[in-house]
Chain A
Amino acid sequence: MAEVEETIKRIQSQKGVQGIIIVNAEGIPIKSTLDNSSTVQYAGNVHQLLMKARGVVRDIDPQNDLTFLRVRSKKNEIMIAPDKDYFLIVIQNPTE
């Protein structure tokens, strides 16, 4: 339990990180450093995107699976690390 907290704190302290969200397989945000409305928005949208991306990867090659997803936009980058039961979302503002 403490390790998880520590890890999250470490990521949070990285330069440019704006927020971290941990979501479970059902789409419930377990832990978040952002406010509730943003958390809910991110959790819902990312969940769908993740399913779609995973679907694409497995469709092209069934032996393959999604390991990481990065969405870079003008203002920031959304990094999603998926797993079977949970996924971790980090929003970072990359240094130019």
Chain B
Amino acid sequence: MEIVYVYTKKHSEFGRQCNFSDRPAELHVDILPDISLAANFTVRDPCNVTIQCAEEMSEHEVNTERFESESRGINHVEGGWPKDLNPEDMEATIRYRKKVEKDEHYQNTIMQIAGLMEHCCKQNNATDIYREFFEDEDEEVLEESEEQPSAKTINVFRDPNEVKRTATSLSWHPEGNHKLAVAYSSLEFQRAPNDMSFDSYIWDIENPNKPEMTLRPVSPLVCLEYNPKDSHILVGGSYNGQIAYWDTRKGSQPVEMSTIEHSHRDPVYKVIWLQSKTGTDIFSASTDGQVLWWDIRKMSEPTERLVLDPSKKGNLDNALGVVSLEFETTMPTKFMVGTEQGLVVSCNRKAKTPAEKIVCTYSGHHGPIYALQRNPFFPKNFLTVADWTARIWSEDIKESSIMWTKYHMAHLLDGCWSPVRPSVFFTLKMDGTLDVWDILFKQNDPTLSLKVCDEAMCSIRVQDNGRFLGCGSQLGTTTLLEISAGLCTLQKNEKAMVSEMFERETKREKILEARHREMRLKERSRSEQSREDEGKETDGEESAEELVACAEREFFEIMEAEKKKERNEEKQRDKV
């Protein structure tokens, strides 16, 4: 509503002077509160008020006036002599100098600063103040109180196809480590759907959206390896047993494939590049029990063949299926294979006869050995990952492993050593966890256990710098993880401590083995003796019926004997 006060002035009064007068206040409008309006409101209780207790600050910018400065050099020849003095004049200068020296102010000043100077000179002589002291100690303290071991996911590479396949094998690019080759296939027997793609991909680490390159084999690849000498060449073993090799400069199709007749009869589970002058030698292994050597320039037939028959007869029917291979470039004549049956077989490549090729076997696992790798620092010790445990072996002890993890709840599917730390290794489990073990820190449990994904994790590969690792899962998801610095920097005395630990465990096993042997010998000699005694009595009572008849006879004999004893006792009692 409008409140209006009208003020009018007569025209005749315009221009007249103003006469001010007092009068009391007049009430023009009085608007009383309308109680009915209060009904539209309710009391709010409680009221939420936000307050902040902080200093009030304001931001100001100040720009000072630009100060111009210039660097000038002076060439000081003989400086500052007073005007009346000729610097060339020796006498005058000497006289001047002497005068200054006599000045009391000079003497006081010099005494003062000389004192200071002397202190510094002596200090210099006492110790080198610029040297870094306590350098080593500082580092130790820092490391101990430092970070918890941790790992974080950097990138995830998913299988771009609709039908997801397992990422069965990973291989890092040998130079620069910025590319990762992943082999995809479906290892479930006859479960692969018809429209499943056969492709495997090379991913660029920085770009998880699209693979950098596709490899199109004839049959899905189970394993894939970069040539460590030539980073453009990759070799892959496929599901149908063939080996193929690619040159990334030449495109997605394999450059050459091995002939079907001479290849493996089962999926090729592992292929490794050998150390050779030409850099073109590989060897491959498969569950059909064969280990074949190839030269990639001539893929029509393998250069060498070995049948993994434990009876050393080269009989393919008895052969053990091979699931993993191990080769160390420092020991080029030896190699090891991990079998489906849980045996690790150590072989010598340079043996003359096939029978001698198989040197010895290590048993102890209950299931196929999915991973087999020598410790990069201590090649005499190797790691095997199979069934529900991971075991560390020493080459000398064949009866059992020297160290092992406890039995886990899920199967262990892959594992590898860290290339920079001799005491660290990684294992992957079927429930999707990655375990990082540091045997110097804790032996019962993994130092770090991470759940990477919900499905089974099938393959792992650590980059050469030990910092990054890639793991592939059953649904084709490859995860790139970075582990904390503590787990990939070599600690002081680590090598010495790990070597001590391995030696200690090896010795323990040797002692145990010796003890077992002793006990067995004793048993044998005892059983031999007892057998000699009984030899005359027991003659081939093998059949069950005869045994039963014998048992009956003995029973009745005992009964008769007891009855007789009773009768005798009665008679005795009657007598008395």
Chain A interface residues (CB < 8 Å from chain B): 1, 3-4, 7-8, 10-11, 14-17, 22, 24, 26-28, 30-31, 40, 43-45, 47-48, 67-68, 70, 72, 77, 79, 81-88, 90, 92, 94-96
8 further A-B contacts with Cβ under 8 Å, apart from A44-B74, A95-B128, are A1-B101, A4-B111, A28-B79, A30-B97, A47-B79, A48-B74, A88-B113, A94-B124
In Å, the complex CA distance between A24 and B75 comes to: 17
Contact across chains for B109 and A16 when beta carbons are under 8 A apart: no
**Nearest neighbor of A85 in chain B, beta-carbon distance:** B109
Complex CA gap A83/B113 in Å reads: 7
Residues 73-105 of B at the A interface (beta carbon under 8 Å): 73-81, 96-97, 100-102, 105
By the criterion CB–CB under 8 Å, are A43 and B106 in contact?
no
**A residues near B27, Cβ cutoff 8 Å:** none
Cβ of B122 under 8 Å from chain A: yes
Interface residues on B, range: 20 to 34
| A7 contacts B114, C-beta separation under 8 Å | yes
Give the Cβ gap from B229 to chain A, nearest Cβ, in Å: 44
With a CB–CB cut-off of 8 A, which chain B residues contact A67?
Answer: 116
Knowing A8-B114, A10-B118, say if A16 contacts B125 (CB, 8 Å): yes
Which residues from chain B contact A27 at a C-beta distance below 8 Å? Answer: 76, 79-80
B114 touches A11 (CB 8 A): yes
Q: How far is the CA of A68 from the CA of B123 in the complex (A)?
A: 14
Can you name 19 A-B pairs with beta carbons within 8 Å?
A1-B101, A10-B118, A11-B118, A14-B121, A16-B124, A17-B121, A44-B76, A44-B77, A44-B79, A67-B116, A83-B109, A85-B105, A86-B109, A86-B113, A88-B110, A88-B113, A90-B121, A92-B124, A96-B128
Assembled-state Cα–Cα distance A15/B126 (Å)? 10
Q: Does B134 contact A (CB under 8 A)?
A: no
Contacting pair A43 B128 (CB below 8 A): no
Docked Cα-Cα span, A72 to B557, in Å, equals 111
B130 interfacial by beta-carbon distance below 8 Å: yes
Decide yes or no whether B112 CB sits under 8 A from chain A. Answer: yes
> How long is the Cα–Cα vector from A3 to B109 in the complex, in angstroms?
12
Known: A4-B111, A28-B81, A88-B114. A95 touches B124 (CB 8 A): yes
| Assembly CA distance A70 to B117 (angstroms) | 10
Contact A83–B117 (Cβ < 8 Å): no
Kindly state the separation between the CA atoms of A27 and B118 in the bound complex, as whole angstroms: 22
**Known contacts A31-B97, A83-B112; is A26 also within 8 Å of B125 by CB?**
no
CB distance from A80 to the nearest CB of B (A): 9
A92 and B114: CB pair below 8 A?
no
A40-B76, A86-B109 known; A11 vs B117 contact (CB < 8 Å): yes
Asked if B121 contacts A4 (CB within 8 A), the reply is: no
Q: Which A-B residue pairs are the 4 nearest by beta carbons?
A: A44-B76, A26-B80, A27-B79, A81-B113
